[in-house]
Amino acid sequence: MSPVEIARLQEYLQSKFNVPNLSVRGRSNKDDSAEVYFGDEFIGVIFRDDEDGDVSYDFNMAILEIDLPERQAS
């Protein structure tokens, strides 16, 4: 992804989720995706899909069960 495209995605996500310390960073070995960070913590990957001239983005975020807050069963 180009630096302009990454900046646009970052601005969109920061605005949409109201999270100013969310950042989107290019990947040195891939040009079809970028990494998403919350502060210094890696949280996911955005993939660029350019099929039939229509560009879309897929944000993939894995959430580990161990990271979820504890809840008592009801």
Q: Find, among 38, 40, 46, the residue nearest to 21 by Cα.
A: 38
74 pLDDT higher than 90: no
Give residue-wise pLDDT tens across range 4-59: 999 999 999 999 999 999 999 999 899 899 999 999 999 999 999 998 889 999 99
Instruction: Give phi and psi for 57, each to the nearest 5.
Output: -130, 140
pTM comes to 0.85
Residues 7, 12, 44, 70: what is their CA dihedral angle, to the nearest 10 degrees? 140
73 pLDDT higher than 80: no
